[in-house]
A = this chain, B = another copy of it.
Amino acid sequence: MDLEEKVIKKEPKYHGSIIDVEKQTVQLPNGKQASRDIVYHSKAVAALVITKDNKMLMETQWRAPVQEVTLEIPAGKVDSRDTGSSEEAMVRELNEEVRYHAKTLKHLTGFYTSVGFSDEYMDLYLATDLEPVTDELPRDQGEYLGIKEYSLSEAKQLLDSGQIKDAKTTMAILYWELLSK
């Protein structure tokens, strides 16, 4: 079955600081037209960071879209400082956010975060063999974080009780549980 839609028209709708929004008019496989809303976003990275004590690092952070403090694994956007490399972005973000250098950085998986309306693609890593950084990089302006450490059983409890409700963090805990079996 041919599933492809052909783009007939692209209308830029918003140029923001972290997103660009476009409305597309497309031709469906049956020849009819439909409209598509698209949010373009940088590539992103996130890490399941495991300490020498076998705890995972999480961050508390205010999230404007949901008007609450969330509990999430370290993550960030791949930006112009990273010459396009996700691994380089991950090393930088771990320095900026949790002040560690991971001597072992393993790629676990990569995925579109919400492919129905956005092209955001995130690479998820496992970061271990941590050393405190000696060259602390400045955090992004306006970025306020609290750092937490949890054992696997604590993390699973936070997930089961609904206190963790962030997709990448949920996925990281599932990977950790699988890796621990």
Contacts and interface: CB of A to CB of B under 8 A. Distances in A.
Interface of A: 1, 3-5, 7, 13-14, 16-19, 21, 23-24, 26, 28-29, 32, 34-41, 44, 60-66, 69-70, 72, 75, 109-122, 141-142, 144-146, 159, 162, 164-171, 174-175, 177-178, 181
B13 A111 contact: no
How many copies of the polypeptide does the oligomer hold? Answer: 2
**10 closest A-B pairs (Cβ-Cβ)?**
A16-B37, A34-B142, A36-B64, A174-B174, A113-B114, A3-B62, A13-B14, A111-B167, A65-B119, A38-B65
Nearest to A44: B116
A115 B1 contact: no
Nearest to A39: B39
B34 A141 contact: yes
Contact of A14 (B21, B44, B113, B141): B21
A16 B5 contact: no
A113 to B, nearest CB: 4
B113 A32 contact: no
B66 A112 contact: yes
A159 to B, nearest CB: 7
A41 B116 CA distance: 10
B142 A32 contact: yes
A32 to B, nearest CB: 7
Nearest to A29: B144
Contacts of A141: 34
26 contacts: A1-B146, A4-B62, A4-B69, A13-B14, A14-B37, A16-B23, A18-B116, A19-B21, A28-B144, A29-B144, A36-B65, A38-B64, A38-B65, A41-B117, A65-B118, A66-B112, A66-B121, A109-B159, A110-B165, A113-B114, A114-B118, A114-B167, A118-B118, A122-B167, A167-B168, A181-B181
